[in-house]
Amino acid sequence: MIQRPRGTSDFLHMDNPHWAFVESSAAALAQLYGYSRIDTPTFESADLFVRTIGDSTDIVQKEMYTFEDKGGGLLTLRAEGTAPVCRAFLEHGLHNRSLPLRLYYLCPVFRYERPQSGRYREHHQFGVELLGAEGPEADAEVIALACDLVKKLGLEDIELFVNSIGDPSCRSEYLILLSEYYQGTINTLCNDCKDRFTRNPLRLLDCKNEHCSVIASGAPKMVDNLCGPCESHWQKLLMYLNTVNIAYDIDHRLVRGMDYYTRTVFEFKPKGSGSQGTILGGGRYDGLIEQLGGKPTPGIGFGSGLERLVLNLEKKQINTAGRAPELVVVLHHGDECVPYAMEVINHLRSKEIPSVLASSGKSIKAQMRYAASLQAKTVIILGEDEVNSRCVTVKDMLEGNQETIKFEDLNNYLNTS
Ligand SMILES: [Zn+2]
Ligand SMILES: [Zn+2]
C-alpha cells in the first residue's frame, strides 16, 4: 500500500467542519479590511527564497524543498508566503498602482521539518500583506486584523507578543552589543547557538534550549537601542494598540525566523503553550521589495497556519458544526422512480438546496440508514404513488414525522420547516 509522505495530511472535511470555517472566516475578514486575494505559484526560483529569507537562516539551510527540473532550473516549493507576493508585486508593476495595496492569500507552504503536532512538511497558510504603507497605523491595522481573526474563530486565551528589531542602521550597532554580551558565555550554549553566534546572532535570543533561554533573558534589549525613527515608530504603534484596546506583551526575545524583518515583529500564542505554539506571526519588511530590485517600498504582513488554528479549535472543542448547509437525501423505490427522483433533485439544486440521490438497488431501509449517516435533516421518499400523482413524501429526520405534499409545494415546505 502506498501511503502519503511523512509530514503531510489528508484532510477529511466531512469529518471536520473546522477547516472550512477557518478558511471562510479568514477570507471574509480579509475582505472586510479591504484586502483582495492573490494566488502565486506552488514553486518559485530557489533564488527568491534564498535571497529574501536569508541564506544563514534555518529555513534556507535545512528546510527548503529545492529541486532541479528537467530544464535545469533550480526551483523551490513555496517556503513562505511573503516573498512570492513581493515578487508578484514587482512582476506585475503593482507599485505603479495607488498604494498602499492590500493582499491576502490561502496557500500550501512546504518545509522539511520534524513532523509533530500542528507542524507538517506541507501545511497551509492564511496571510495578509499590506504594501506601500510606512506609518505605524499600518502595523496596527494588520495586528487588529489578526486579533479579529482569533476572536472570530472563538479562540480564547490567546496572547499577543510584540517587539521591535529595529532597522539595518540601529540593528548593526545592537548586534555588536549582543556579541559583547555573549562573548563570555558562548561556550556554554547549545551547538545551534554557537553556530548562530557567528552567522545570525539575533537568533541567539529565541533559542528554545533551557540554559540558552536563561542567558538570552539577560541580553541587552533591541527596544532599548533603537534609533530615533525606529523608536518613534515603536512608541506610536504601542499607543495605537492601546487606543483600540488590543492587549499585548512586549517580548524582547521575539525575533522571527527570516532575515527580512525590520522594526515591528509579532506573534499570537495560546496561553501557556510555550515556544512551539505560535498560531500566527508576522512583521514589517521595509527592505524586501528593494532587495528584490524594486523601488524602496515598505511592507507589513502576517501568516497563520490553518492546521494550528484547526488544532486549537479542536482542543477547545469549539463547535463550528451546524454552519454547513443542511443536506436533503432523496430515496426511491426502484429504477422506475429514478427519472422522477432526478427531476426532484435537479429542482432542489436549482434552488441551491444541497441534495444527494440514494443508490438504486437498495431497500428503503438501507437508503434511510445512509441518509442518517450523512446527517440529513430531511429525506424525500419517492414510490409509485408519488410518481403517478406528482407528489413527494417528506420526512423530518429530527422530529420523525412525515407527510405527502405536491411537488410544487416542496419549496414552501423546505423554506418553512
Ligand atoms: Zn541555544
Ligand atoms: Zn533604527
CATH number at residue 73: 3.30.930.10
121 in the same domain as 96: yes
Closest-approaching ligand to the CA atom of 195: 1
pLDDT at 79: 95
What is the grid cell recorded at 29? 475578514
**CA 220 / ligand 2 centre spacing (Å):** 16
Closest-approaching ligand to the CA atom of 164: 2
269 in the same domain as 342: no
127 in the same domain as 82: yes
**CA 217 / ligand 1 centre spacing (Å):** 12
**CA 225 / ligand 2 centre spacing (Å):** 8
Q: Determine, yes or no, domain membership for 7.
A: no
Q: Determine, yes or no, domain membership for 183.
A: no
pLDDT at 272: 82
Q: Determine, yes or no, domain membership for 411.
A: yes
User: Which of 291, 315, 339 is where one domain is finished?
Assistant: 315
What is the grid cell recorded at 68? 532541479
**CA 108 / ligand 2 centre spacing (Å):** 34
**CA 235 / ligand 2 centre spacing (Å):** 13
How many Å apart are CA 338 and CA 192, to the nearest integer? 67
Closest-approaching ligand to the CA atom of 189: 1
281 in the same domain as 388: no
pLDDT at 321: 57
Q: Determine, yes or no, domain membership for 195.
A: no
64 in the same domain as 123: yes
Radius of gyration of the CA atoms of the chain, in A: 27
Q: Determine, yes or no, domain membership for 252.
A: yes
**CA 377 / ligand 1 centre spacing (Å):** 56
pLDDT in tens, the chain (417 residues): 999 999 999 988 888 889 999 999 999 999 999 999 999 999 999 999 999 988 888 888 899 999 999 999 999 999 999 999 999 999 999 999 999 999 999 999 999 989 888 789 999 999 999 999 999 999 999 999 999 999 999 998 999 999 999 999 999 999 999 999 999 999 999 999 999 898 889 999 989 899 999 999 999 999 999 999 999 999 999 999 999 999 999 999 999 878 889 999 999 999 987 667 899 999 999 999 999 999 999 999 999 999 999 999 988 877 665 445 688 999 999 899 999 999 999 999 998 888 999 988 889 999 999 999 888 989 999 999 999 999 999 999 989 999 999 999 998 888 876
Closest-approaching ligand to the CA atom of 227: 2
User: Which of 284, 315, 346 is where one domain is finished?
Assistant: 315
User: Which of 315, 338, 357 is where one domain is finished?
Assistant: 315
Domain count, the chain: 2
**CA 254 / ligand 1 centre spacing (Å):** 14
* Count of beta carbons in the 10 Å neighbourhood of residue 155: 18
CATH number of the domain bearing residue 342: 3.40.50.800
Nearest to 415 by CA among 332, 331, 326, 341: 326
342 in the same domain as 307: no
Q: Which residue range is the domain that position 161 belongs to?
A: 13-167+227-315
132 in the same domain as 254: yes
**CA 163 / ligand 2 centre spacing (Å):** 13
Q: Can you give the three-state secondary structure of 346-374, one letter per residue?
A: HHHHHCCCCEEECCCCCCHHHHHHHHHHC
**CA 167 / ligand 2 centre spacing (Å):** 4
308 in the same domain as 360: no
**CA 97 / ligand 2 centre spacing (Å):** 28
End-to-end CA distance of the chain: 47
152 in the same domain as 71: yes
* Chain centre to alpha carbon of residue 358: 36
**CA 129 / ligand 1 centre spacing (Å):** 31
**CA 285 / ligand 2 centre spacing (Å):** 13
**CA 280 / ligand 2 centre spacing (Å):** 25
343 in the same domain as 263: no
Are the CB atoms for 146 and 304 separated by under 8 Å? Answer: yes
For ligand 2, an ion, list residues with CB under 5 A: 166-167, 170, 227, 230
pLDDT at 106: 98
pLDDT at 80: 94
Q: Determine, yes or no, domain membership for 201.
A: no
**CA 9 / ligand 1 centre spacing (Å):** 31
Q: Determine, yes or no, domain membership for 322.
A: no
Closest-approaching ligand to the CA atom of 210: 1
**CA 262 / ligand 2 centre spacing (Å):** 9
**CA 266 / ligand 2 centre spacing (Å):** 17
Q: Determine, yes or no, domain membership for 63.
A: yes
**CA 194 / ligand 1 centre spacing (Å):** 7
148 in the same domain as 116: yes
pLDDT at 273: 78
**CA 227 / ligand 2 centre spacing (Å):** 4
348 in the same domain as 308: no
**CA 239 / ligand 2 centre spacing (Å):** 18
